[in-house]
Amino acid sequence: MKAVLLCAGYATRLYPLTRDRPKPLLSVGGRPVLDYLLEKIERLPSVDGVFLITNDRFYPHFKTWADSRRYPWKIEVVNDGTSTNEDRIGAIGDLAFVIQKHKIRTDLGVFAGDNLFLSELGGFLSFAAFHRPHTSLAVVDVKQRELATRYGIVQTDASGRVSTFLEKPKDPPSTMASTGVYWFPQEGLNLLDRYMREGHNADRPGDYIHWLVEVDRVFAYTLPGRWVDIGDPDSYREADRMMLELNHPARKEKGRS
């Protein structure tokens, strides 16, 4: 299985923090966001290669970071050639770009680079393997309908099959939010090829998942534990607090005294 890290965004909502530094390399709890994700991927024995796709502006940042890390596999940093938020090719466009450039024809674990969650990924992969050859995604319950309007929202049946996927709905049918963690089986990569050939929106992963729900089966796994989507200054501060408390429990106890 290959892992693909989607890191080609420009994170304009976090300016000025991300004007000259990519969001996945922002410090959270004293470490880059990506370090936490790579630790979890490293503990998956089925992963035998990692690709990180970014843009031309931030390629040197990610290359320097990747070259300083030691994992069982090399992190292959891929430049999609874009340089501004206006000419970006989008997350699904980037995924298709990596697959084509490196001729990938194996199972794929795909991860948004700004994702911060505490759960391990073994349970998710076991769930995905059970539902092979269909796509699986990880979700969390954000509890509040107001929060649900900010994310891709799913409804499922009793088996976990996704019946509805809506991107940032004004009237969310549930509070189960997609986390930016996906598993695409080798047998289903032809569907991504078809999606791109038909000229659908290549920007948001949620648009692809919405399409997949209509043409195939998609299953949702509920990820236990806390999750933060780092999208704005408030969520960035929340993520930093969460990881500081996790990395330095004494600080949490001191704050309570």
- pTM over the 0.85 mark: yes
pLDDT score of 257? 35
Domain-located, residue 248: no
Domain that holds residue 2: 1-114
pLDDT score of 84? 79
Same domain, 110 and 122: no
Give the H or E element holding residue 36.
helix 33-42
Q: How many CB atoms lie within 10 A of CB 40?
A: 17
Question: Which letter does DSSP use for residue 200 in this model?
Answer: -
pLDDT score of 230? 87
Question: Which letter does DSSP use for residue 161 in this model?
Answer: B
Residues in the chain predicted with pLDDT less than 70, given as ranges, are 248-257
Task: Name the phi and psi angles at 171, rounded to 5.
Answer: -125, 80
Same domain, 106 and 153: no
As a whole number of Å, the CA-based R_g of the chain is 18
Residue type, 96: A
pLDDT score of 198? 94
* The residue to which tokens 């963690």 are assigned: 181
39: domain CATH number? 3.90.550.10
Q: Tell me: the pLDDT tens digits for 9-67? A: 888 788 888 888 999 999 999 999 999 999 999 999 999 999 999 999 999 999 999 99
Give the H or E element holding residue 223.
none
pLDDT score of 250? 52
Q: Domain count for the chain, please give it.
A: 2
* The residue to which tokens 């929340």 are assigned: 238
Same domain, 90 and 135: no
Q: Which two tokens stand for residue 53?
A: 């796709």
Same domain, 105 and 168: no
Same domain, 97 and 153: no
Residues 6 or more apart in contact with residue 15 via CB below 8 angstroms: none
Same domain, 90 and 9: yes
Same domain, 121 and 212: yes
Whole-angstrom Cα distance, residue 113 to residue 78? 14
Same domain, 110 and 170: no
Same domain, 2 and 89: yes
Residues 6 or more apart in contact with residue 11 via CB below 8 angstroms: 17, 18, 22, 23, 114
Whole-angstrom Cα distance, residue 103 to residue 78? 13
* The residue to which tokens 């502006």 are assigned: 57
pLDDT score of 249? 57
